[in-house]
Structure 1
Amino acid sequence: MILNFSFKFIARKEKICCQFSLYKTYRVLSNASVDALWEKLINLGDVSWNPLLDHTNAPRGLRAKPGLIYQAVTRLTPIPIRVFVEKVDPGELLSLRVLAIPGIENRVTYQVESTLIGTYVSCSITLRGWLSPFLWWVIRPYASRVVRELAQSAESTEQVS
């Protein structure tokens, strides 16, 4: 787990503003293959492995493509949020931007890499904006479980096949 945190006070035209940014990475070693992890990750209609998301409006089997925007409903609130797929490097990287509330910029990047001892999957969360401390306080208990549950879901899918 890597944590990078910054909080700055900035004086602008007789106002004092604050900037908050947080960058956190969670990484897990999995026995599942890169292909199994990647298939779970890019299937936008199946978010059963994600402890933060309840469901999406994407049809099951829809694969992530750059520029795609879809809606997701979190397990915490019934309010739908918009998710923008920024970048996709097949088999390696998926970058998403969550467009939820003005005042918060949230970017989530998943990376999958194969090694001799297994497959590493990592999730990097970047939060910026003045409401970010509140959002981090809400999602922190769930954020640490995202990668672990993705790996477990891919491993169980591989065992069934």
Structure 2
Amino acid sequence: MILNFSFKLIAAKGKLVCYFSLYKTYRVVSTAPVDVLWQKLINLADASWNPLIARTNVPRGLIPKPGLIYQVVTRFTPFPIQFFVENVRPGELLSIRVLAIPGMEQKITYQVESTLCGSYISYSVTLRGWLSPFIWWLIRPYSARVAAELAQAAERVSV
């Protein structure tokens, strides 16, 4: 687990401005093959393994590509939030930007890699903006479980 946190208070033009940034990475080892992990991850229609997401509006079979915008209903809010797929490297990386609330910017990155010890899953969260401390306080317990839940879901499929 890697945590990088920065907080800046800047006085400019008679105003007090607050900049908050948080970067956190969770890493888990899985016995499931990378291909199975990747298939579970890019199936955006089935996010049942993700403790933060209740449902999405993505049709089954749609493969994420850069520029795809889709809606997600989280377990915290009854209204949909837009997600934007920024980067996809097949079998390796999926990067998503959350377009939710003014005053907060969130980026989520999933990486999968195969090693001799098994498959590694990295789940990184980057938060910026003045609302970030509150959002982080709200999602932190669930974010800690995302990579582990993905690994368990892929292991159930590969058995």
Quick one: distance in 2 between partners of 1:150 and 1:63? 18
Amino acid at match of 2:39: E
> Residues 69 and 83 of structure 1 are in contact (CA less than 8 Å); yes or no, is this contact kept in structure 2?
yes
**Structure 1 residue 32 corresponds to structure 2 residue 32:** yes
Deviation at 1:61, TM superposition (A): 2.0
Deviation at 1:10, TM superposition (A): 0.9
Alignment match, 1:65: 65
Quick one: distance in 2 between partners of 1:47 and 1:20? 29
Quick one: distance in 2 between partners of 1:32 and 1:12? 52
> Residues 46 and 61 of structure 1 are in contact (CA less than 8 Å); yes or no, is this contact kept in structure 2?
no
Amino acid at match of 1:10: I
> Residues 45 and 58 of structure 1 are in contact (CA less than 8 Å); yes or no, is this contact kept in structure 2?
yes
**Structure 1 residue 88 corresponds to structure 2 residue 97:** no
Quick one: distance in 2 between partners of 1:90 and 1:113? 11
Alignment match, 2:126: 126
> Residues 4 and 22 of structure 1 are in contact (CA less than 8 Å); yes or no, is this contact kept in structure 2?
yes
Quick one: distance in 2 between partners of 1:103 and 1:44? 26
> Residues 5 and 22 of structure 1 are in contact (CA less than 8 Å); yes or no, is this contact kept in structure 2?
yes
Residue ranges of structure 1 left out of the alignment (5+ in a row): none
Deviations 1:30-84 (A, max 9, x none): 0000000000111110100000000000012211110000000001111110000
What RMSD, in angstroms, separates the aligned Cα atoms of the two structures? 0.5
Alignment match, 1:106: 106
Quick one: distance in 2 between partners of 1:99 and 1:115? 34
Amino acid at match of 2:91: G
Deviation at 1:146, TM superposition (A): 0.3
**Structure 1 residue 137 corresponds to structure 2 residue 137:** yes
Quick one: distance in 2 between partners of 1:150 and 1:60? 18
> Residues 28 and 147 of structure 1 are in contact (CA less than 8 Å); yes or no, is this contact kept in structure 2?
yes
Alignment match, 1:51: 51
Residue ranges of structure 2 left out of the alignment (5+ in a row): none
Alignment match, 2:155: 155
Deviations 1:112-147 (A, max 9, x none): 010001000010000000000000000001000000
Which structure 1 residue ranges, 4+ long, deviate > 6 Å from structure 2?
Answer: none
Size of the aligned set, in residue pairs, is: 159
**What is the TM-score of this pair, normalised by structure 2?**
0.99
Counting aligned pairs with the same residue, the percent is 70
Match of 1:61, SS state, is coil
